[in-house]
Amino acid sequence: MPILNRAAELQGEVTAWRRHLHENPEILYDVEGTAAFVAEKLAAFGVDEIVTGIGRTGVVGIIRGKGGDGRTIGLRADMDALPLTELTGKDWASHTPGRMHACGHDGHTAMLLGAAKYLAETRNFSGNVAVIFQPAEEGGAGALAMIEDGLMERFKVDEVYGMHNMPGIPVGQFAIRKGGIMAAPDRFTITITGRGGHAAQPHKTIDPIFIGAQLVGSLQAIASRNSDPVRSVVLSVTRFDAGTTHNIIPDQAVLMGTVRTLSEEMRDLAENRIRQIVHGLVGAHAADATIDYERRCPVTVNHDQATQHAAAAATDVSGAANVDTEVDPSMAGEDFAFMLKRRPGAFIFIGNGDTAGLHNPHYDFDDEAIAYGVSYWIRLAEQRLGQ
């Protein structure tokens, strides 16, 4: 079963929605215009229940199947854009400098609206489909805000699925894997406090730059010496602030960076080793350090059974040859991870062809992917809620 005919028919309409959203990007939780657009469309489709303002600006629509009561499948899209100035020059480019849909969430929102329109028209399932539109995916934990507002309990969500477009994968293809598919993108700030003084008299100081420089190298032992070589961890020191001029050794040096892991076990290991290495090294030099380690969204872990369900729906749409079920994980983070902590489900990549990479000012969602994405959501919902 290829793309659904009705999904292909809807492509023009969904493309128009996508380009409207692209012209009007909104950031983090401030997605009032986008949320209103979504709610208005859901109402026009005859969606049974529409709840706005969940997780501040999230929207949920409930579509009841004509087969009667049953389980509820959650399908989730994200609505927010990025603080970036668009350089595509497209006719539908952002109207607002400094804001841009550079991660394709405009495409995600439009595709889920397309699926909602079809599912509300046909209702060939038992139970309910919950279409979930979240704010603040880009670093704002919007998924967690919706969960804390009762998303799962209020709508009795049994399973939840997410989808992200992926440049570099051809349009018409899908990619997924069991287990960790996106990383936990944690961050750290290390403040080393020594004792400043004259640069000509280092013996009268405790030099935090000297210690910090060693730390940049020593922290790489976590990846190269402490981790099982077949388990991934990436640690990057991305900022090093210290000092004022040529002849002063400063009191303090501040290092910032990111740690990305694909399992909670590696995540714990990385944090523990950072603490040990920092305290050991500064102790050896009689300095002090504080570590601010911020755990952001968890590892996005696909559940085994749900991964099979997602792959089956994608295969239905595109054929087995176009569904990679062992894709390499991405070391980027994904807020949908919070939902997979609460309910079984899976996150899939949908090919977006050779557009520029995500978060790039030249990126633009490829509308040719729309019929595939809409068909995937429909197939998944109908398969999971088959009568």
Q: How far apart are CA 95 and CA 34, in angstroms?
A: 14
Nearer of residues 103 and 281 to Zn ion, judged by Cβ: 103
Nearer of residues 219 and 370 to Zn ion, judged by Cβ: 370
Nearer of residues 102 and 278 to Zn ion, judged by Cβ: 102
Burial, 198: exposed, middle or buried (Cβ in 10 Å; 0-12, 13-18, 19+)?
exposed
Nearer of residues 81 and 113 to Zn ion, judged by Cβ: 81
Q: Residues 26, 80, 86, 366: which is the catalytic one?
A: 80
CB atoms < 10 A from the CB of 23, how many? 17
137 catalytic per annotation: yes
Position closest to Zn ion via CB: 103
Furthest CA-CA distance within the chain: 83
Strand 128-134 vs strand 49-54: parallel, antiparallel, or unpaired?
Answer: unpaired
Nearer of residues 181 and 190 to Zn ion, judged by Cβ: 181
Shortest gap between Cβ of 364 and Zn ion (angstroms)?
Answer: 14
Helix (H) or strand (E) segment spanning residue 279: helix 264-284
Q: Let me know: does 141 contact 34? Beta carbons within 8 Å.
A: no
80 catalytic per annotation: yes
Shortest gap between Cβ of 335 and Zn ion (angstroms)?
Answer: 8
Q: How far apart are CA 339 and CA 147, in angstroms?
A: 7
* C-alpha to C-alpha distances, 256 to 29, 173, 209, 241, nearest whole angstrom: 26, 38, 14, 9
Q: How far apart are CA 378 and CA 116, in angstroms?
A: 8
Q: How far apart are CA 174 and CA 348, in angstroms?
A: 7
Residues of the shown chain interacting with Zn ion in the complex, contacts defined by CB under 5 A: 103
Q: Residues 26, 137, 364, 366: which is the catalytic one?
A: 137
Q: How far apart are CA 214 and CA 233, in angstroms?
A: 20
Please tell me whether residue 343 adopts helix, strand or coil conformation.
Answer: coil
Task: Quote the Cα angle for 133-48-129, to 5°.
Answer: 55
Shortest gap between Cβ of 261 and Zn ion (angstroms)?
Answer: 19
Shortest gap between Cβ of 358 and Zn ion (angstroms)?
Answer: 5
Sole residue written with tokens 């399973």: 159
Shortest gap between Cβ of 159 and Zn ion (angstroms)?
Answer: 21
Q: The dihedral of CA 127, 40, 162, 166: what is its sign?
A: positive
* C-alpha to C-alpha distances, 328 to 157, 317, 331, nearest whole angstrom: 29, 22, 9
Shortest gap between Cβ of 356 and Zn ion (angstroms)?
Answer: 13
Nearer of residues 103 and 176 to Zn ion, judged by Cβ: 103
The residues carrying an active-site annotation are: 80, 137
